[in-house]
Amino acid sequence: MPTTARRRPPRGRRPALGPYLLVAPAVLGMLYLLLYPFGRALLISLQDFRLRELIRGHAEFVGLRNYQTLLGDPRFWEVVRRTFLFMAVNVLAIMILSTLVALMIERLGRTGRAVVLSSLVLVWAVPVVAATTVFQWLFHSEFGIVNETLTDLGLTSFEGHTWFADGGSAFTILVVLVVWQSVPFAAITLYSALTTVPAELYESARLDGAGAARVFRSVTFPLVRPIFMLVVSLEVIWTFKAFVQIWVMTRGGPGDATTILPVYAVQTALASQRYDLGSAASMVTVLLMSGVLVLYFRQLFRQEGEHL
């Protein structure tokens, strides 16, 4: 539903207090439930806050010591590197696959389109924990269908392969899971963007003798670019803070092989009871992600700024 016309709120008599009363619950909610916890997290990251302080209170301020500890830890940098790797691999796979799927849906007939869209929506609706559990079952070392199929295909080395004991393969399964869960949203969004491209543009491009790849590069992509960039930013953010899949499936293991920043923060805070270091890790995560946010907002305001 594109809002082409610029909607001005009606002028004239209006209660001066009305709008503020209407937004007050939302503002209070966000202040208390988002901003205040965020402030607390920031404070904790500047304090010496362990189990003792959690129980007794009276935490001492230590300045940036937690950040120094964190940034001086080679394991932390390993986690940061892995977070970016995880994000890059996921986002790349998600964007390539969902663009292909979106282009495919556009070319399908009515029935085929309905079938593909419905199955995408179905995947989208499977709760994360349920999907994660299912993937554990699919990749079960003895009774999993994946090992069975690979063995049947002649890859006998996969017989009884323990996917979750090996860092590389645990990482791979998590990527497959996240991609499987993320493609539906991205593909449906990109498809709905594609439907807004006027058909005449394609026809004139084809009359000019452009091939499919050329049409995509010169006609389709520039027009869906804003939505494409938006989806990229969202996927970057979502994969950056992927937590549930990893926590439920591997808890970051084996070893550290699937530990990315959010998992690291929770491990540090709740397992080692270093709430201060955990908060500092969360703050660094937020900082790194706000780099992405800046891109997102620039994109958003280019599109939406006039409607606000």
Partner 1 sequence: MTTTRGPAPRRALRGLPLRLAAALTVTLCLFPVYWMVTSAFRPSRDLQSYEPRLIPDAWTFDHFRTAVQADGFALFWRNSVLVTLGAVLLSLVVALGAAYAVARLRWRGRRAFMLAVFIAQMAPWESLVIPVYIISRDTGMLDRLPTLTLVYFMITLPFTVVVLRGFLAGIPPELEEAAQVDGCTRVGAFRRIAFPLLAPGLMATSLFGFITAWNEFTFANFLIIKQQDNRTLPVWLSSFQTTFGTDWGATMAASTLFALPALVVFLALQRHVTSGLTAGGVKG
Give residues 116-145 in contact with partner 1 (rule: CB under 8 A): 116-138, 140, 142-143, 145
Between residue 157 and residue 176, which ones bind partner 1 under the rule CB under 8 A? none
Q: Where do runs of H (alpha helix) occur along 57-166?
A: 65-71, 74-107, 110-125, 128-138, 145-152
Phi-psi region of 66 (alpha: psi -120 to 50; beta: other; left: phi over 0): alpha
Between residue 224 and residue 253, which ones bind partner 1 under the rule CB under 8 A? 227, 230-231, 237, 241, 243-244, 247-248
Between residue 181 and residue 220, which ones bind partner 1 under the rule CB under 8 A? 184, 188-189, 192-193, 206, 209-212
DSSP state of 62: -
Interacting stretch for partner 1, rule CB under 8 A, among 63-71, 84-92, 217-225, 295-303? Answer: 295-303
CA torsion, points 92, 97, 100, 102, in degrees to nearest 10? Answer: -110
Between residue 11 and residue 50, which ones bind partner 1 under the rule CB under 8 A? 11, 14, 18-23, 25-27, 29-30, 33-34, 36-41, 44
| Residue 276 backbone phi and psi in degrees, to 5 | -65, -45
Secondary structure class of 60 (helix, strand, coil): strand
- Cβ proximity to partner 1, 116 vs 257, nearer residue: 116
Contact 296, 230 (CB under 8 A): yes
- Cβ proximity to partner 1, 106 vs 256, nearer residue: 106
Q: Minimum Å distance from CB 166 to partner 1?
A: 20
- Cβ proximity to partner 1, 44 vs 178, nearer residue: 44
Q: Is the peptide bond before 2 cis (omega within 30 degrees of 0)?
A: no
Radius of gyration of the chain (CA): 24
- Cβ proximity to partner 1, 64 vs 270, nearer residue: 270
Interacting stretch for partner 1, rule CB under 8 A, among 65-73, 85-93, 164-172, 259-267? Answer: 259-267
Between residue 49 and residue 68, which ones bind partner 1 under the rule CB under 8 A? 54
